[in-house]
Amino acid sequence: MPLALYALAAGAFGIGVTEFVIMGLLLDVGRDLQVSIASAGLLISGYALGVVVGAPLLTAVLSRQPRKRVLILLMAIFTIGNAACALAPSYGFLMAARVLTSLAHGSFFGIGSVVATSLVARQMRASAIAVMFAGLTIANVLGVPFGTWLGQQFGWRATFWAVSLVGIVALAVIAAVLPKDDGGTDAANWRTDLEALARRPVLLGFATTILGYAGVFAVFTYIAPMLTRISGFPEAAVSPILLLFGGGLVLGNLLGGRLADRNLNASVLGSLGALGLVLALMTLALHDRIAAAIFVGLLGAAAFATVAPLQMWVLSKAKGGSQSLVSSFNIAAFNLGNAIGAFAGGLVIDHGPGLPWVPLAATLLPLLAVVTALAGIRAGRSESMACPSAAV
């Protein structure tokens, strides 16, 4: 794999840390800024919504600029945003800084996915995306625990200063090793871009991503109470068990990329089916400590085994339009799925059969994703038959 891919992974690592580390620092942030835990929790929601809105918007605005220049600019926004978080004098300022930082998230992964595929041979494109996303998975395994520890020892602001430093390093590495490109991120015009986004296979691809990741976050959002109240683990055991989830993310990400390079459609359907199976069996596994710990790791593997296939699949449907824009919309779809999943899991807990049944209820979401994926495959084949020149 080209060195430039690892430069993209470095940027993904920093973005992954800043997205998730706030979860371990909510108490510290709330105490320092004198806001409730619920208000502090909105910093997570604000970031996610910033990704959903900012990813396609910023990508569209920068669509005529060279990709390398855009990625450097996005890492600059990311670094400035984290420095602003570290300096935030109030809750409102911190929220604004988090939203600013989130604007770089979706566009970086969206445009970065396109750049990653351009750096390798055709048969290795999904694996290239997986290498870039490996930075995000490593952030969950190493960066987030370390960032949480750093914030608890030296104050939550120290964590954001550290992430700012990561941003500076990633920016420098991207500037040094990413190949130059003279043209804009995409040569298509606005009309062609919108037509690409409105194509049925692309829309079904977005729906598949949303449903698949909604199933993941319907469970993962509430994994701590599941482990303590159902499996009987002490609270101190939750963090070590989540390392299994992070390890599963790394393995699943690389496996998903390899499988997608061999057979893209089969990898999409197979990874979503595997995710549904893991969620269904997790309902039973939670009642045994050893089985529960194992299935936390399997959930991580099944969740991220879907990422590279889904991202590559949507990119493959963006015929004639802006790949960067379509890719960024799909990153927004992942984050929208996160928000919908957390909401759906809460409904099952508060108005449904309760916490023990969340995994089983969540199983429905990836199964629906399989249905939309099949519809997308069928729609793609119909388009190819109607216009053979459009076939990939």
pLDDT digits (tens, 9 = 90+) for 319-354: 655 677 888 888 888 888 888 888 888 888 888 898
Count up the domains in the chain and report the number: 2
Give residue 196's pLDDT.
72
Give the domain-ending residue among 153, 185, 217. 185
Domain residues for 109? Answer: 1-185
Residues 53, 57, 59, 60: is their CA dihedral positive or negative?
positive
- Residues 225, 351 within the same domain: yes
Please name the residue that has the structure tokens 């969620």.
279
- Residues 120, 178 within the same domain: yes
**C-alpha dihedral, 87 to 89 to 94 to 96, nearest 10°:** -100
Give the domain-ending residue among 185, 212, 234. 185
Q: Per mean pLDDT, which range of 33-47, 161-175, 253-267, 361-375 is the poorest?
A: 33-47
- Residues 329, 270 within the same domain: yes
- Residues 124, 239 within the same domain: no
**195 within 8 A of 57, measured Cβ to Cβ:** no
Against a cut of 0.85, is the pTM above it?
no
- Residues 20, 101 within the same domain: yes
- Tell me the range of 117-131, 196-210, 259-273 where mean pLDDT is highest: 259-273
CA distance 18 to 32: 19
CA distance 153 to 141: 19
- Residues 245, 285 within the same domain: yes
- Residues 169, 208 within the same domain: no
Give residue 182's pLDDT.
54
Give the domain-ending residue among 185, 201, 223. 185
- Residues 375, 318 within the same domain: yes
Q: pLDDT tens digits, residue range 44-102? A: 778 888 888 888 888 778 877 888 888 999 999 999 999 999 999 999 999 999 999 98
- Residues 210, 167 within the same domain: no
- Residues 319, 242 within the same domain: yes
Q: pLDDT tens digits, residue range 214-261? A: 999 889 878 878 998 899 998 778 778 888 888 898 899 989 989 998
- Residues 190, 124 within the same domain: no
More confident residue, 315 or 167: 167
Give residue 390's pLDDT.
44
Residues 6+ positions from 310 with CB-CB distance below 8 Å: 205, 208, 209, 212, 268, 330
- Residues 24, 110 within the same domain: yes
**292 within 8 A of 228, measured Cβ to Cβ:** no
CATH of the domain at 306: 1.20.1250.20
Q: pLDDT tens digits, residue range 16-39? A: 888 878 877 777 888 899 887 667
Give residue 165's pLDDT.
94
Q: Is 387 left (phi over 0), alpha (psi -120 to 50) or beta?
A: beta
